[in-house]
Amino acid sequence: MECRSARSTSRTWGSDGGARPVSDLRVRLQPRAGRSEVVGERDGAVVIRVAAPPVEGRANEALCAFIAERAGVPKRTVSVVAGERARDKVVRVDGVDAMQLRRALGLL
């Protein structure tokens, strides 16, 4: 069963030509929170609060670091692919499928 807020695709990555999972996650970001946490889901997006302010990309960096830590992947594998200057974003995580990512974020 595929969730509306996350999808999993495969692509070739690395010199061995093997396929690795890639997950895109719709996120509603709330910067300047008391602490970084997953709040839940709203309107098909995962609501995540981060303590960093939305200045000079700090909130996006904090979001990527938070997701990487929760998913157990290196920070370099997490990126904002849409909505860089908006609260509604699409975050891509390489190396984790959608269900693993949702489980890591405490959504399952």
Counting DSSP H helices and E strands in the chain, the numbers are 2, 6
Is there a domain that residue 10 lies in?
no
Number of domains forming the structure of the chain: 1
- Domain of residue 91 covers 22-104
Q: What is the pTM of this model?
A: 0.82
Instruction: Give me the pLDDT at residue 8, please.
Output: 41
Instruction: Give me the pLDDT at residue 108, please.
Output: 87
Is there a domain that residue 36 lies in?
yes
Is there a domain that residue 58 lies in?
yes
Is there a domain that residue 11 lies in?
no
For the chain (108 residues), the mean pLDDT of every run of 10, in chain order, is: 36 58 96 96 96 96 97 96 96 95 94
User: Among 75, 95, 91, which Cα is nearest to 83's?
Assistant: 91
48: domain CATH number? Answer: 3.30.1200.10
Rg of the Cα atoms in the chain: 13
Is there a domain that residue 71 lies in?
yes
Residue 7 contacts residue 26 (beta carbons within 8 Å): no
Is there a domain that residue 34 lies in?
yes
Is there a domain that residue 15 lies in?
no
User: Among 105, 104, 95, which Cα is nearest to 74's?
Assistant: 95
Q: Residue 30: what residue type? A: Q
Is there a domain that residue 63 lies in?
yes
